[in-house]
């Protein structure tokens, strides 16, 4: 509504301004034309007077009339020859002046012989051309109908130049009526023309503004409403007064492997895919739902009227189902996943901005937990007040060295030797005790603090390693990198400097990255990881099997190792498909020349199975839990003693 007012006001401003301009233009043109019409009408009247007066009087008078006083007989004669014919043409009054300014003849006989302004009369005669003047009213006090006086220099007798001045008064009313009727027609035509011009302009501008308005609200690729349009729809739909007691939902959808498709099949196919996704989404929604593309591979759905809160599960299910069907991209069948975050109205917010933010939190959670769909939950929201307080605490915790590292050994299955350790961070919180990474690492990832955590871990791991090296222990240590770390262009430099400062060779450091981390921006990740590899740092693909890895990326990544996700290892004893995944991953690693690590080895059976499958390395509670450095030292010593025994 407000938008349409805004748009209208733009158009309104244009119409008002142009209307004003048209009026000014009309006024000016009207005035100019009116002046010309008036001038022409007066000139016509003058011509009439000149023609009527000059020729008539010139013929009637002779030289003797300008000498002395005209006698009564001659006066009657002149009345007949001059005044009477003129009166019939509408002339009110006629007079003839001599050169000395005295009246030689007048139809008002009483004036004859009187003298008015001699110089003026002389001047008018000498000029030799007629002159016109608006006269006063005909009444004695200047009121009454106005007149037009015309002075015409005339030649009387044998004179070669004008020697008398003829003056006639014409009534102004007929001239004024002429002017009025002419200007009325003109004004009408002018107004009509300008109105038509304005109408045409208005139509053009209104159409253009409508088009601009639509374009500003439309996603060009899919034709769906864009973010701005979604906000507008949100304002209309969630406006407080319009929805007492009603519920709604905002669903945020992020495609899981879009970037990969775009990179491997090209942007054209990427665009095609987005259009296809838009179509499928449209097909499963009701007409009252607003589907928008927010940019990239992110779509949003505003469900205005939710029969009940649980209905979102049904909608999300339909969306998942629609997107699960493979997409045909230039003959290649591409399977795509989606993560859906849901925020409810009014439970999670009563304006679109809040709902969007919360749906985004839920979507991130859906992605992180790999559950596909997730509804907003305040407890996991890094932006909820409780969480924000924790973030603030985490900031100081890093500076106060409240973080601690625990180390979990990895065992080479064939030899039983310790292949290295994985450094896992914990937070020794002053009030809450020892916090597991799940309680603060995702939070740090969402709030940009993860870089600081990673730097702390890097520094702590390398200084620990320096200690081990000083004690004659060469122990490769692995740290975990988050997505933001991998995409951080300074990562390689930071790690390089830390290695130099601690005098640790690159080959003793390993970085574990998860598949999804790489898939967020494969090109940049590959570049960043390549630089680490160049320093001798080992690279390991964490949680393998959980994510969306494609073999093409696996081949292009500069890897040394893959770690089978612990869920498969823990399930391999009881679940055939888990066992199959473990088996094929080991084969895959071997074929690609990569070392394979099995995480989550909790039992002797699992260890034996992995040994039978020729898995390279095992890690898990069954061998050792993650331990503080001092405990690890004791564990290593005890293990060395038992192997020796
Ligand atoms: P991860 O990288 O997969 O680390 C292995 C996790 O599995 C550790 O949990 C470890 O304690 C647990 N684990 C090891 N063996 C077993 C087993 O036999 N059974 C079971 N059930 N669990 C086992 P933790 O330490 O709680 O870490 C959880 C996750 O937090 C890590 O998963 C990693 O993704 C993240 N994380 C930990 N430390 C860091 C860090 O310094 N930086 C970053 N970015 N992430 C970290
Ligand atoms: Ca790890
Ligand atoms: Ca792992």
Concatenated DSSP letters of 582-623: HHHHHHHHHHHT-EEEE----SHHHHHHHHHTT-SEE-STTT
Q: Which residues contact 349 (CB under 8 A, 6 or more apart)?
A: 343, 355, 357, 358
Pairing, β 131-137 against β 298-303: unpaired
Pairing of strands 403-412, 617-618: antiparallel
DSSP 91: -
Ligand nearest to the CA of 563: 3
Tell me how far the alpha carbon of residue 600 lies from the centroid of ligand 1, in angstroms. 10
Q: How far is the CA of 388 from the centre of ligand 1 (A)?
A: 23
Span from the CA of 366 to the centroid of ligand 1 (angstroms): 19
H or E element in which residue 25 lies: helix 2-60
Task: Compute the CA torsion angle 330, 332, 337, 343 (nearest 10 deg).
Answer: 10
CA dihedral 565, 484, 274, 314 (to 10 degrees): 60
Q: Which of 3-17, 230-244, 376-390 has the lowest mean pLDDT?
A: 3-17
Backbone angles phi and psi of 402, in degrees to 5 = -85, -10
The SS3 assignment for 381 reads coil
Ligand nearest to the CA of 449: 1
Residue with tokens 């390395």, as numbered in its chain: 617
| Coil/strand/helix, residue 435 | strand
Quick one: tokens of 90?
A: 């509408």
Continuous H helices in 61-99: 72-78, 84-88
* Atom 10 of ligand 1, nearest CA residue: 626
For residue 402, pLDDT beyond 90? yes
Spatial separation of the C-alpha atoms in residues 252 and 293, rounded to whole Å: 10
Report the alpha-carbon distance of residue 305 to residue 395 in Å, rounded: 42
Residues comprising the chain, all counted: 645
CB-facing half-sphere around the CA of 40: CA atoms within 13 A: 11
Q: What is the pLDDT of residue 319?
A: 95
Q: Is the pLDDT of residue 380 over 80?
A: no
Higher local confidence (pLDDT), 185 or 412: 412
Q: Tell me the per-residue pLDDT of 500-550, one tens digit each, with 9 for 90 and over.
A: 999 999 999 999 998 878 877 788 889 999 999 999 999 999 999 876 666
Helices (H), 99-172: 118-127
User: What mean pLDDT is predicted for residues 306-330?
Assistant: 91
* Residue with CA closest to ligand 1 atom 22: 600
Q: Which residues sit with their C-beta closer than 6 Å to ligand 1?
A: 408, 424-425, 436-438, 441, 454, 457, 479-480, 482, 512, 542-543, 566, 599-602, 619-621, 626
- CA atoms of 78 and 72, how far apart (whole Å): 10
Residue minimizing CA distance to atom 19 of ligand 1: 600
pLDDT of 182-216, one tens digit each? 888 888 998 999 899 989 988 998 898 888 888 88
Which ligand approaches the C-alpha of residue 546 most closely? 3
Neighbours of ion ligand 2 (CB under 5 A): 480, 512, 542
Backbone φ, ψ for residue 286 (5° rounding): -85, 155
- Give the ligand whose atoms come closest to the C-alpha of residue 478: 2
Query: For 582-635, what is each residue's pLDDT tens digit?
Result: 999 999 999 999 999 999 999 999 999 999 999 999 999 999 999 999 999 999
Per-residue pLDDT band at 240 (split at 50, 70, 90): low
pLDDT at 377 over 80: yes
For residue 70, give the nearest of 82, 85, 88 by alpha carbon. 82
pLDDT reported for residue 243 = 58
Q: Report pLDDT digits (tens) over 324-338.
A: 999 998 888 988 889
- Higher-pLDDT residue of 179 and 590 is 590
What pLDDT, on the 0 to 100 scale, is given for residue 360? Answer: 93
Nearest to 29 by CA among 198, 196, 202, 191: 191
Ligand 3 centroid to residue 620 C-alpha, Å: 10
Task: Please say whether the beta carbons of 18 and 198 come within 8 A.
Answer: yes
Rounded to whole angstroms, how far apart are CA atoms 501 and 430?
30
Band (pLDDT 50/70/90 cuts) for residue 369 is: confident
The residue whose C-alpha atom lies closest to atom 45 belonging to ligand 1 is: 480
User: Do the beta carbons of residue 489 and residue 458 sit within 8 Å?
Assistant: no
**pLDDT confidence bin for 496, thresholds 50/70/90:** very high
Query: From ligand 3's centre to the CA of 617, what distance in Å?
Result: 13
Question: How much distance in Å is there from the Cα of 532 to the middle of ligand 1?
Answer: 22
Which runs of E-coded beta strand occur in 319-476?
A: 327-329, 332-334, 338-345, 373-375, 403-412, 418-429, 433-435
Residue partners of 427: CB distance under 8 A and separation at least 6 = 394, 397, 402, 403, 404, 434, 435, 439, 440
Taking the centre of ligand 1 as the mean of its atom positions, its distance from the CA of residue 405, in whole angstroms, is 11
User: Omega of the bond prior to 346 within 30 degrees of 0, cis?
Assistant: yes
pLDDT in tens, 70-113: 888 888 888 888 888 877 777 888 888 888 888 888 888 888 88
First CA to last CA distance, the chain: 83
The greatest distance separating any two alpha carbons of the chain, rounded to the nearest whole angstrom, comes to: 171
Contacts of 205 (CB under 8 A, 6+ apart): 11, 14
The residue nearest atom 41 of ligand 1, judged by CA position, is 425
Reply yes or no on whether the pLDDT at 6 is more than 60: no
Of 69-83, 121-135, 231-245, 407-421, the least confident: 231-245
Q: Which ligand is nearest to the CA of 482?
A: 1
Atom of ligand 1 at shortest range from CA of 450: 44
Strands (E), 138-209: 146-154, 164-171
pLDDT for res 535: 96
Output the six-digit token pair for 497.
């400097």
Average pLDDT over residues 434-438: 94
Which of ligand 1's atoms lies nearest the C-alpha of 481?
44
Q: Write the burial class of residue 199 (CB in 10 Å: 0-12 exposed, 13-18 middle, 19+ buried).
A: exposed
Q: What is the mean pLDDT of the chain?
A: 89
Distance of alpha carbon 645 from alpha carbon 641, whole angstroms = 6
CA distance 395 to 557: 33
Percentage of the chain exceeding pLDDT 70: 96
Give, using CA atoms, the residue closest to atom 17 of ligand 1.
600
pLDDT of the residue at 138: 63
Ligand 2 center–CA 384 separation, angstroms: 28
Segment 156-162 shows an average pLDDT of 84
Query: pLDDT at residue 374 above 90?
Result: yes
Distance 512 CA to ligand 2 centre (A): 6
pLDDT surpasses 80 at 359: yes
What is the 18 CA–ligand 3 centroid distance (Å)?
Answer: 69
- Nearest bound ligand to the CA of residue 625: 1
CA of 453 to the centre of ligand 1 (A): 15
* Residues 600 and 581: beta-carbon distance below 8 Å: no
Instruction: Give the per-residue pLDDT at 644.
Output: 76
Is residue 603 within 8 Å of residue 622, measured between CB atoms? yes
Q: Mapping DSSP to helix (H, G, I), strand (E, B) and coil, where does residue 102 land? A: strand
Most confident of 131-140, 254-263, 373-382, 558-567: 558-567
All residues at 6 or more sequence positions from 126 whose CB lies less than 8 Å from its CB, including other chains:
153, 162
| DSSP structural state of residue 346 | T
If one residue of 426, 598, 599 were mutated to test the ligand 1 pocket, choosing by the most ligand atoms within 8 A of its CB, it would be 599
List phi, psi (to 5°) of 89: -90, 5
Cα separation, 563 vs 542, in Å, equals 5
Question: Taking the complete model, does pTM exceed 0.75, yes or no?
Answer: no
Of the ranges 2-11, 312-321, 326-335, which one carries the lowest mean pLDDT score? 2-11
Three-class secondary structure of residue 185 per DSSP: helix
Whole-number Å distance between alpha carbons of 477 and 461:
7
Residues sharing a CB contact under 8 Å with residue 245, sequence separation 6 or more, in sequence order: none
Residue 475 has pLDDT above 80, yes or no: yes
Give the Cα-Cα-Cα angle 109, 112, 117 (nearest 5 degrees).
Answer: 135
Instruction: Give the three-class secondary structure for 519.
Output: helix
Which of 391, 422, 433 shows the shortest CA–CA distance to 600?
A: 422
DSSP string, 530-578: HHHHHTT-EEEEEEETTS---HHHHHHS--SEEEE-HHHHHHTTT-HHH
Segment among 55-59, 228-232, 598-602, 623-627 with least mean pLDDT? 55-59
* Test site for ligand 1: of 369, 424, 603, 622, most ligand atoms within 8 A of the Cβ: 424
Highest mean pLDDT among 171-180, 197-206, 301-310, 413-422: 413-422
């Amino acid at each position: 509504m407000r938008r349409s007012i805004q748009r209208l006001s733009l158009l309104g401003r244009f119409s008002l301004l142009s209307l004003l301009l048209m009026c000014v233009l009309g006024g000016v043109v009207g005035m100019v034309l009116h002046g010309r019409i008036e001038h022409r009408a007066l000139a016509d009247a003058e011509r009439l007077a000149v023609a009527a007066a000059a020729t008539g009087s010139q013929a009637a008078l002779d030289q003797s009339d300008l000498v002395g006083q005209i006698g009564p007989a001659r006066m009657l004669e002149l009345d007949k020859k001059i005044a009477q014919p003129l009166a019939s043409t509408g002339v009110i009054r006629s007079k003839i002046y001599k050169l000395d300014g005295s009246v030689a003849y007048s139809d008002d006989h009483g004036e004859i012989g009187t003298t008015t302004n001699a110089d003026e009369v002389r001047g008018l005669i000498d000029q030799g051309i007629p002159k016109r003047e608006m006269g006063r009213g005909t009444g004695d006090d200047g009121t009454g109908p106005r007149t037009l006086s015309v002075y015409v220099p005339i030649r009387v007798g044998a004179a070669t130049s004008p020697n008398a001045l003829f003056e006639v008064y014409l009534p102004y009313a007929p001239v004024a009526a002429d002017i009025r009727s002419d200007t009325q027609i003109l004004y009408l035509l002018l107004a009509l023309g300008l109105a038509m011009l304005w109408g045409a302009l208005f139509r053009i501008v209104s159409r253009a503004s409508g088009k601009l308005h639509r374009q500003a609200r439309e996603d060009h690729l899919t034709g769906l409403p864009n973010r701005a349009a979604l906000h507008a729809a949100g304002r209309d739909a969630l406006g407080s007064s319009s929805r007492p007691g009603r519920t709604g939902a905002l669903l945020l959808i992020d495609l899981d492997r879009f970037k990969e498709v775009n990179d491997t099949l090209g942007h054209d196919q990427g665009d095609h895919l987005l259009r296809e996704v838009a179509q499928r989404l449209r097909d499963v929604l009701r007409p009252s739902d607003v589907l928008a593309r927010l940019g990239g591979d992110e779509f949003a759905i505003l469900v205005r009227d939710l029969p009940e809160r649980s209905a979102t599960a049904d909608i999300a299910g339909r969306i998942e189902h629609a997107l699960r069907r493979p997409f045909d991209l230039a003959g290649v069948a591409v399977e795509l996943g989606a993560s859906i975050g849901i925020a409810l109205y009014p439970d999670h917010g009563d304006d679109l901005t809040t709902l969007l933010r919360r749906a985004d939190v839920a979507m991130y959670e859906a992605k992180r937990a790999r559950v596909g769909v997730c509804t907003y939950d305040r407890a996991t929201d890094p932006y909820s007040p409780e969480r924000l307080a924790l973030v603030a605490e985490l900031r100081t915790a890093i500076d106060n060295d409240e973080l601690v590292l625990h180390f979990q050994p990895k065992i080479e299955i064939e030899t039983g030797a310790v292949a290295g350790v994985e450094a896992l961070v914990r937070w020794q919180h002053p009030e809450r005790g020892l916090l597991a990474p799940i309680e603060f690492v995702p939070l740090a990832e969402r709030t940009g603090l993860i870089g600081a955590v990673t730097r702390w871990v890097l520094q702590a791991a390398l200084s620990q390693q320096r200690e081990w090296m000083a004690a004659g222990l060469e122990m490769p240590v692995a740290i975990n990198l988050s997505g933001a770390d991998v995409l951080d262009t300074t990562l390689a430099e930071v790690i390089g400097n830390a290695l130099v400062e601690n005098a640790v060779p690159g080959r003793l450091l390993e970085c574990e990255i998860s598949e999804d981390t790489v898939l967020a921006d494969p090109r940049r990740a590959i570049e960043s990881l390549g630089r680490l590899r160049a320093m001798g740092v080992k690279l390991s693909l964490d949680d393998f099997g959980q994510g969306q890895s494609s073999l093409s990326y696996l081949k292009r990544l500069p890897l040394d190792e893959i770690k089978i996700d612990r869920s498969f290892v823990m399930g391999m004893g009881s679940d055939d498909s888990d066992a199959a995944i473990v088996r094929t991953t080991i084969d895959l690693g071997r074929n690609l020349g990569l070392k394979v690590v099995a995480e989550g080895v909790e039992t002797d059976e699992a260890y034996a199975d992995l040994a039978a499958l020729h898995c390279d390395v095992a890690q898990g509670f069954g061998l050792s839990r993650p331990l503080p450095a001092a405990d690890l030292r004791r564990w290593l010593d005890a293990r060395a003693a038992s192997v020796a025994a």
